[in-house]
Amino acid sequence: MRDKLIIATVGLVLAGTSPALANHGTGTHEGSMMQSGRMMGTGMLMPRMDPGRGRKLFASKGCVVCHSVNGVGGEDAPPLDAANMKLPMNPFEFAARMWRGASAMVMMQEEELGAQIELDGQDLADIIAFIHNEDEQKHFSEADIPDNITKLMAHLEDDDEEHEAEHEAAGESGEAATSN
């Protein structure tokens, strides 16, 4: 028994996973920084990336208000279909692109959602996994979007239609005024 434990521990260390992390498993996300991960030789922990959880977060955190997947979601920001993502995927490059657009995203979040979206490292890892996983994205539909986000999206769509109607009316009255 002891030999098997030593062999398993050595195998985990060689594979880059610490024994403590191996026992951590995939417990609940609440109260833990990472569900599970892989220890790098540099002392960094790479989180396990769960595209299924990322699909749920993409909808529940409100990313779907501005971004779409499979044509489901907003049009205020680029669509995030996996088929259009560069491979191999580098999660750090993806996070860097988000960082470069952070000020615009935060402004839009505050305007559209009423507050900035709060993500921890595991949330971001899971969302990135979803965005780059065509198989998981095939399951994404309007049914994934929570009621509160669906209502918000409908309200925003109504506001957009009202603004368009106001612009059209202002354009017509402006044309009438210049033609007289």
Residue pLDDT, tens place only, 71-106: 999 998 999 999 998 888 889 899 999 999 999 999
Tell me the fold of 49-179: Cytochrome Bc1 Complex; Chain D, domain 2 (1.10.760)
Q: Which amino acid is at 144?
A: D
* E strand or H helix that includes residue 45: strand 45-47
Which amino acid appears at position 82 of this protein? A
Cα 107 to the center of its chain, rounded Å? 17
Averaged pLDDT, 135-140:
96
Distance CA 19, CA 38 (A): 10
In the chain, CATH 1.10.760 sits at 49-179
**Closest among 164, 145, 143, 144 to 153, alpha carbons compared:** 145
58 forms beta bridges with none
pLDDT band for position 158 (50/70/90)? low
* Model confidence at 14: pLDDT above 50: no
> Is the model more confident about 39 or about 22?
39
Residue owning tokens 């009255």: 173
Lowest mean per-residue pLDDT among 12-16, 33-37, 44-48, 173-177:
12-16
Examine the pLDDT at 24 and tell me if it is beyond 90: no
Q: Where are the alpha helices (DSSP H) in the chain?
A: 2-15, 19-24, 51-60, 63-66, 91-100, 102-113, 121-131, 134-137, 147-179
Contact residues for 24 (Cβ-Cβ < 8 A; gap 6+):
35, 36
Higher model confidence: residue 159 or residue 129?
A: 129
> pTM for this one?
0.68
pLDDT confidence band for 117 (50 / 70 / 90): very high
User: Does the pLDDT at position 6 exceed 60?
Assistant: no
